[in-house]
Amino acid sequence: MFLGHTIGSIIGVGITKLFLLQSPESFDNNLWLVGALACAVATTVLSMMKLIHPPSGGTALIAATQADVRAIGWYYVPVVMLSSVLMIAVGLITNNIQRQYPMYWWTSTPLLPRKPKEAEGNLSGVTLGESATSIETRVAEEKGGEMISVGLDGVVIPSFLRLSYDQRAVLDELQTKMKEFYLVRDEN
């Protein structure tokens, strides 16, 4: 957020200053172009830097279209930096009142590793007419019991996973809804 707004403000002020080198009448006629160009360039640069923060395009747009912001010129950049730091501080304080946020400030490994498509749900050898619950149970067994399976026959939970009463109630409710769905479908 900090870098996104800072870079957006620099780009917005820079493009505005370039267009202000023309006559004031020409600038007023091309105000729509200045705003669109500032927002587009800021978004493109942030995208290339992998710093996407959509409101930073608005920061660049404000630098181009608001007369009072154009009047302060490059002083707009430190104002944006200060306001970004204040927003981050308020967000961190309010989000840490009842929980820990962010959980990690930095990690060298991806938090959610991606599995290959083949490993996610390999159902080779499924016979025609085999019930969904037997397929789910077989897939759960093939994966070494590492998945939760909710089927018509019951809920399969890995042995290493301990669930609270409320969590187990949610799974039981899902099983009940599945039974109701299949009963209604079979009746029709």
Q: In this predicted structure, what is the pLDDT of residue 154? A: 79
108 within a domain of the structure (yes/no): no
Q: pLDDT at position 173, please? A: 87
Range of the domain at 55: 2-95
- One domain for residues 79 and 11: yes
How many domains does the chain fold into? 2
CB atoms within 10 A of CB 53: 19
The residue whose two tokens read 């080779």 is 124
DSSP H/E element including 46: helix 31-48
The verdict on residue 70 lying in a domain is yes
Write the pLDDT tens digit of every residue in 162-183.
888 888 888 888 888 888 887 7
pLDDT confidence band for 142 (50 / 70 / 90):
low
Do 36 and 86 share a structural domain?
yes
The predicted model scores a pTM of 0.55
Whether 6 and 72 share a structural domain: yes
The residue assigned the tokens 């830097």 is 49
For 80-127, write each residue's pLDDT tens digit: 999 999 999 998 888 888 877 777 666 666 655 555 544 444 444 444
Q: Which residues sit opposite 156 in a β-bridge?
A: 149
Residue 89 sits in the same domain as residue 130: no
- The answer on 157 and 82 residing in a single domain is no
pLDDT-above-90 percentage for the chain: 37
Handedness of CA 39, 42, 46, 48 (dihedral sign): positive
Q: CA distances (Å), 137 to each of 148, 149, 161, 162, 172, in order?
A: 10, 7, 17, 19, 16
Confirm whether 102 is domain-assigned. Answer: no
Residues 118, 43: contact at Cβ < 8 Å? no
Residue that is last in its domain, among 79, 95, 111: 95
**Tokens 């200045």, located at residue:** 34
Q: For residue 112, what pLDDT is reported?
A: 59
- For residue 115, being part of any structural domain is answered with no
Q: For the chain, what is the mean pLDDT?
A: 80
Asked, for residue 48, whether it belongs to a domain, the answer is yes
Q: Check residue 163 and give its pLDDT.
A: 80
**Residue 132 maps to a domain:** yes
Same domain, 70 and 129: no
Whether 74 and 131 map to the same domain: the answer is no
pLDDT digits (tens, 9 = 90+) for 3-50: 999 999 999 999 999 998 888 788 888 889 999 999 999 999 999 998
pLDDT tens digits along 50-65: 888 889 999 999 999 9
87 and 39 part of one domain? yes
Position 155 pLDDT exceeds 90: no
pLDDT over threshold 60, residue 139: no
pLDDT for the residue 122: 46
